Structure 1
Amino acid sequence: MGQPIPDFGKFLENLRGVMSLREAARKSGLSHAYIRDLELERNRSTNDRITPSPDTLQKLSAAYGYPYTELMIKAGHLVSGDLHNAPTKQSANVDLPSVHYIELGAKEITYYTHKIKICQSIESLIDFSSFLDQLEEHEFKKMDMDLYVNFNHIRKYDERKGLIYFDEEGAGSSVTISAIRQRKYHDLILRKVANNTGKSLEISFGKTRKTVSFSATEKNI
């Protein structure tokens, strides 16, 4: 872990340039208020100092057309020497279809399968963007700031606690999803659980309920 450059918030403001806060918000998917907080380097509601996460930096990189790796270095998440020691292939030896979920750290990606976890270094914006495309192809969905879940492995869903399990009994490993993602993917998660377990799914329509059946081999929901 390195140190952020002096006045990193001012650097972000200069990167935005003549682009309005609302335009930057539209391009990045972040709120305009949060972008301004980052530029001031503090949460204006609590006055606490804030630093953008790698996920936030990736969004700002895409919105401003500035290299992701450079932003990571300037924010203090990476140091230049880390890039020379990083592996040449980010997803080498990792079978994405077998991965249950993925956690993104400041400098590495951790893959969790049924029995093991694999850690690999984050390299460059080009590699990272390609990596995110691969996740989408294999039906990984973003469930929290740094968490991606393979929907093809979901076997149980605890709506009340916001927990996703990868076994039908709910006795094995689980992940907690954010409330906003739970609302966004609620119906899809239910359909995936039904599909992955070969069970029927009850869907509510007003005061009535309808049972929909999925075969164990049904795909591409």
Structure 2
Amino acid sequence: MNIKAIFRLVAVSILYISSALAAEEQVPKAVVQHKEVLAGSKREILSSAVGKYPLTSISGSGGGNGMWDTSGSNGEWGSNTSGISGGMRETEDVKLDSADKAFLNGLSISVEPDLSVRLNEGNDVLLEIPYVPDGMDYTMALPHNELAIAKLQTLSAKTTVSDKQLYLLVKDGVDYSSMLAGSFLGSDGDILVVSYSIADKNFEFQLIDGGCCGGSTWTFGPRLIH
């Protein structure tokens, strides 16, 4: 076999191998794209999330530099507030009584078999969000501070998944200051946003101050395993 024939044979072999490798690379990409479409389905996400999610933390900020945090584990809770004094952030513990702890331990979010989502205190339903297949429960009818609006400007009644969050409800004119009151902070705010984190598999119940720039996030999850 002459030199030209050998080079021709090598070139054909390289071309064949390159084509085969390219074909193999395309298969996983197609599978990944298919999985992403399924992960983006609201029904798919909520169906896999059916169950009960206990409250695990409340964190927020407000005023000039105030912050607060309440967190629990295995039925035990701790809470504190902090603020800037003399250029330093000072933290003060909040004493929670037995009524506070019982209330916090009773709070949960549940995804029902019909894909509605509920905020519960023990056996009492404090809020029920019906399943909306092509969007979310969305009501923004009142004037608000531009900082509050900026947080929500990418959301609408047609929003389902945005930035790995499945949005279920945005509503202004709410008042949970009495319903969620306790020695801990975090029940103030007149805009409510409820969402499910696809990555962390927990729920966020956000109360935002529509008149300024503060608010609190109540985190529920992970899901209880029975």
TM-score by length of 2: 0.21
TM-score by length of 1: 0.21
Q: Which has the higher strand share?
A: 2
Looking at both structures, which has the greater relative contact order when contacts are Cα pairs under 8 Å and sequence separation is at least 6? 2
Higher Cα radius of gyration: 2
